[in-house]
Amino acid sequence: MATDSHSNPQPIAERDVLASPADASAIAVDDGPTSKKLKSRHVTMIALGGIIGASLFVGSANVILAAGPASILSYLGGGLIVFLAMRMLGEMAAVRPAVGSFMEYARVGLGDWAAYIVGWLYWYFWVGVIAYEAVVGGGMLNAWFPALPAWAGSLILLAIFVTTNLISLRAFGETEFWLASIKVVAIVVFLGAGLLFAFGLWPDSTLSVANLWQHGGFMPNGFGVVVSSIALVLFAYFGAEIAVMAAAESEDPAKGIRQAANTVIWRVMLFYVGAVLVIVMVVPWDQLPTPDEIPPFAYVFGLLGIPFAEEIMTLVIFTAVISVLNSGTYSASRMFAALSEQKLAPAIMSKRSKRGVPVAAVLASTAGGLVATLVNFIAPSSGIYEFIMNSTGLVALFVFVFIAVTQWRLRVKMTPEEQADLKLKVWLFPVLNIVLIAAAIGIVVIMLGTEGGRAQVLTSFIAAGALAIFWPIVRRNLRRARSAGEVEFEPAPVG
């Protein structure tokens, strides 16, 4: 990448709109040994690990109880929105692999302000996830070992996974590969056995596919509930973009990113939609226990006659919790490091160890999660923990909109030759960009119609507003760094 100081700007076409796809490998994140980078199997499982968690194994029951069998459509609709965002992100990332992912592209396409807002909000989101998963995991450890306080269990989990992330990139990838593999195996077994049961091919089972349209019909509570449930589903899918971030640190960034954008979301949709389909075929939707009584996966496994079904699924759910904790630590630290590299965060956060780990970013991200975790235990009635959880509610939508707008602006600025060279391209441009942006706005409107949704919208905008207050200070420091030649280039404004 050519050096470009503030005093010597280059035309946008010569700099960073999108480099030639043929140069993608030359823009790789680092030139470290291949043995220290992630393999393709790591990238795939990292993406699945960041998405497949308690939201599927437990939270899917809430969507089913609200929308009935038509919850399948809710998961399909949410999956379509995420797929569009992944395709747009993939087009940009295949040309310019970057650990900062959409933050970096927003900086190039829209300006420093966009990178600052979306990058910090994304980091904040994953810090909240780290805290949430630590609290849930600590509670599960306390249930198994009553002598171990829940807060102590949470601290133990945080310590384990900050260590895993600090050892090396490959250590993180290998840990996530095996944790995610357990979840994938559980889902595959669930899908296979559940389908056999639904079609009457399992011992002592009868054909139960009619549960899809009996018990009040396929859409017992109306189409509106199906649409409103997409808002819940969408946040369950959020995390697919981790694959693009991880692929930038893989052995073949360009290839890994194309595979992630094309295949990961389909696999995720298969698992989510397939699992929900099995549940509503096997169990009448209005007879499904609430997740507080028994998780839907455990309930279905129990109907199949599998011994110790609830205990097995509890272990799988625990694996899912710590897997998301692991991948969340990775995501937060890499975004923090990427912000630092662009002088949008303290410089120390971008310093990497000999093994390529941004140590300070890992420690700071975990510390943020630790503070939120301790607040939950020390001051549970303060409302601070609930504010943190609610104020991350719109981050997924913010990210999707920034991706759609950025890809639109960058594509418009490309020459016909550059567009023809794209190896991964968004279809029907810019129609799908408009569809994604409209869908995000529609979901916000839907959220405003519910009490919980309004709380998330309000607190999310408060968090974004707090960031905006500090932007003038950050911008001044950024200009100072560019004047000193500490930043490689300044993105030209796109008008």
- Whether residue 357 has pLDDT greater than 50: yes
pLDDT, average across residues 33-47: 73
pLDDT at residue 34 in the model: 52
- Whether residue 461 has pLDDT greater than 70: yes
- Residues whose CB is less than 8 angstroms from the CB of residue 84 and which lie 6 or more positions away in sequence, other chains included: 404, 426, 432, 435, 436
Q: Tell me if residue 74 falls in helix, strand or coil.
A: helix
Domain assignment present for residue 17? The answer is no
Q: Are 247 and 93 in contact (CB under 8 A)?
A: yes
pLDDT at residue 487 in the model: 59
pLDDT at residue 15 in the model: 35
Find the CATH number of the domain harbouring 221.
1.20.1740.10
Domain assignment present for residue 7? The answer is no
Q: What is the tally of structural domains in the chain?
A: 1
What integer best gives the mean pLDDT of the chain? Answer: 84
Domain assignment present for residue 23? The answer is no
Only one residue has tokens 């384990």, namely 160
pLDDT, average across residues 305-318: 88
pLDDT, average across residues 310-330: 90
In SS3 terms, 430-474 reads as CHHHHHHHHHHHHHHHHHCCCHHHHHHHHHHHHHHHHHHHHHHHH
d(CA 67, CA 208): 19
d(CA 199, CA 224): 30
Domain assignment present for residue 11? The answer is no
Domain assignment present for residue 114? The answer is yes
Alpha carbon dihedral 16, 18, 21, 24, in 10-degree steps, equals 40
Each residue's pLDDT tens digit, 371-383 = 999 998 998 888 8
Phi, psi of 207 (to 5 degrees): -60, 120
- Whether residue 490 has pLDDT greater than 70: no
| Residue 135 vs residue 228, higher pLDDT | 135
pLDDT at residue 151 in the model: 94
d(CA 297, CA 310): 8
Phi, psi of 29 (to 5 degrees): -60, -45
d(CA 286, CA 211): 10
Beta pairing partners, 250: 38
pLDDT at residue 198 in the model: 94
pLDDT, average across residues 96-124: 88
Domain assignment present for residue 19? The answer is no
Domain assignment present for residue 18? The answer is no
Beta pairing partners, 38: 250
Domain assignment present for residue 339? The answer is yes
Each residue's pLDDT tens digit, 222-256 = 888 888 888 778 877 887 778 778 877 887 777 77
Only one residue has tokens 């700007």, namely 9
295 closest CA partner among 68, 57, 133, 63: 57
d(CA 310, CA 302): 7
Host domain of residue 462 = 32-483
Each residue's pLDDT tens digit, 163-199 = 999 998 888 889 989 988 898 888 999 999 999 999 9
pLDDT at residue 450 in the model: 79
Distance of CA 494 to the CA centre of its chain: 28
75 closest CA partner among 222, 261, 276: 276
Q: How many CA atoms lie within 13 A of 163 on its CB side?
A: 6
pLDDT, average across residues 70-88: 90
User: pLDDT > 70: what percent of the chain?
Assistant: 89
pTM: 0.85
Each residue's pLDDT tens digit, 386-413 = 888 888 878 888 999 999 999 999 999 8
Distance of CA 2 to the CA centre of its chain: 32
pLDDT, average across residues 418-442: 90
